[in-house]
Amino acid sequence: MNAPTTSPTTSIPRIAQVERNTNETQIQVRVNLDGTGEAKLHTGIGFFDHMLDQIARHGLIDLDIQATGDLHIDGHHTVEDVGITLGQAVAQAVGDKRGLVRYGHAYVPLDEALSRVVVDFSGRPGLHMFVPFKSGMIGEFDTQLAFEFFQGFANHAGVTVHIDNLRGENAHHQAETVFKAFARALRMALSVDPRAANVVPSTKGSL
């Protein structure tokens, strides 16, 4: 069930709720883009929940994500479908993008690891990701699935995302810097530009 969205020019929080039900996963996502970073997360994959919490906390986005998936096979469908559903919810909550800063970027370090993420709410989905993980697994999380999550998000939020892990020797640190930088970049891009609060940030007039 989809909740109505509002323009960032209003004082009403930008909120959306999306459900995705397939033979592989059942997912409910609720977002408040003008939140305080509160998170209610259950995907059945502990490390993935930890990474989603980084998006909420550092992006100042309230997230409620409840997912049931075919984890007896592996985590692929669950992680990918959470990315898809979260992307759909963010796209709905953003609305017509009037007043949006649109672009966001962040560098985030964690000990020896350093990552950079740049996002553009362009309406043109695309993911360009270079993260040479030093380990194939972090707990029960397959590091290959980080790409699937961000691909699902980018495709369904309609954003271009560039993700680069510039250095890192510990896979946990690499992943955490990526998700934190993604959160910070989202926070910047989703903020309201006070100098152009009623303007769509494009010479085309629409995004």
pLDDT tens, position by position, 138-175 = 999 999 999 999 999 999 999 999 999 999 999 999 99
State pTM to two decimals: 0.94
Number of independent structural domains in the chain:
1
In a domain, 195, yes or no: no
Helix axes 76-94, 46-59, angle to 10 degrees: 20
In a domain, 198, yes or no: no
Q: How does the average pLDDT of the chain come out, rounded?
A: 94
Q: Looking at the chain, how many residues does it have? A: 207
In a domain, 79, yes or no: yes
State the DSSP H helix or E strand holding residue 165, giving kind and residue range, or none if neither: strand 160-167
In a domain, 204, yes or no: no
